[in-house]
């Protein structure tokens, strides 16, 4: 997932992107996303597999990671969630605004934060209100191939104390879809502003009206 095509393309400085409610799993290596410039909000996603890194960037992007679950691979050299791409030393990226807030770190995962931790610095990298990372299973239960449930086979991880603002897993987390709050999925995401579910009778009436109007139009022709 590439956001921005060139570090030197200054117009991407104003780019704003939200990455939410995704499941990044088996077979993925890196770039979830890979950012160049801009303001990126990574919120309420489930990262259960990567080989190199999960979130990478160059060109001083602002990255706001909130309410995600990061489960590191077994490879001890690939536990870091983040990567400053093409950066030679800390001095080059020390002022880039990358933060973790309310994230859940598992199996030794850690997020290297930098820059300012003040919320005002991330106003352009904030879109939806983050939910607790403990709700990630429910928030991402429909992620993946259309028409099929999430594939959680073989996914597991040990809880680990977060780094640079990440929170710890307490009491373990369960994998797989959950039926709790199943009838309030949109309410969970949008809060009190959730759109009401359309009633079946209203849908049937709408279809009937469309058929009547279509028939009338054909008769007039």
| pLDDT of residue 178 exceeding 50 | no
Domains of the chain: 2-180 (2.160.20.10)
Annotation marks residue 31 as catalytic: yes
* Torsion (CA) 170, 171, 172, 175 in degrees, nearest 10: -110
| pLDDT of residue 83 exceeding 90 | yes
* Catalytic one of 31, 36, 69, 141: 31
Q: For residue range 124-147, list pLDDT tens digits in order.
A: 999 999 999 999 999 998 887 765
Q: For residue range 24-75, list pLDDT tens digits in order.
A: 988 888 999 999 999 999 999 999 989 999 999 999 999 999 999 999 999 9
If residue 47 lies in a helix (H) or strand (E), which one and from where to where?
strand 46-47
Nearest to 20 by CA among 126, 151, 168, 122: 126
pLDDT band at 16 (very low <50, low <70, confident <90, very high): very high
Average pLDDT on 101-126 reads 93
pLDDT of residue 24: 92
Query: Angle at CA 139, nearest 5°, toward 133 and 141?
Result: 125
Tokens (6 digits) for 62: 């602002």
What are the CA-CA distances from residue 193 to residues 28, 41, 196, 211, 218 (Å)? 34, 20, 9, 32, 41
Diameter of the chain by CA atoms? 74
């Amino acid at each position: 997932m590439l956001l921005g095509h060139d570090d030197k393309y200054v117009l991407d400085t104003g780019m704003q992107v939200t990455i939410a409610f995704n499941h990044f799993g088996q077979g993925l290596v890196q770039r979830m996303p890979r950012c160049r410039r801009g303001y990126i909000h990574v919120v309420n996603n489930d990262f259960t597999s990567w080989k190199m890194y999960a979130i990478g960037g160059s060109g001083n992007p602002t990255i706001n990671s909130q309410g995600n679950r990061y489960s590191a691979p077994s490879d001890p050299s690939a536990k870091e969630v983040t990567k400053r791409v093409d950066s030679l030393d800390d001095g080059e990226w020390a002022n880039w605004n990358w933060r973790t807030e309310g994230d859940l770190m598992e199996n030794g995962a850690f997020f290297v934060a930098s820059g300012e931790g003040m919320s005002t610095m991330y106003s352009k990298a904030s879109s939806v209100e983050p939910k607790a990372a403990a709700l990630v299973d429910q928030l991402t239960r429909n992620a993946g191939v259309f028409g099929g449930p999430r594939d959680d086979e073989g996914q597991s991880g040990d809880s680990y104390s977060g780094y640079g603002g990440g929170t710890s897993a307490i009491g373990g987390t369960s994998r797989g879809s959950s039926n709790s709050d199943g009838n309030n999925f949109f309410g969970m995401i949008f809060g009190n502003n959730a759109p009401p579910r359309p009633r079946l009778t209203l849908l049937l009436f709408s279809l009937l009206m469309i058929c009547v109007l279509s028939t009338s139009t054909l008769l007039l022709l």
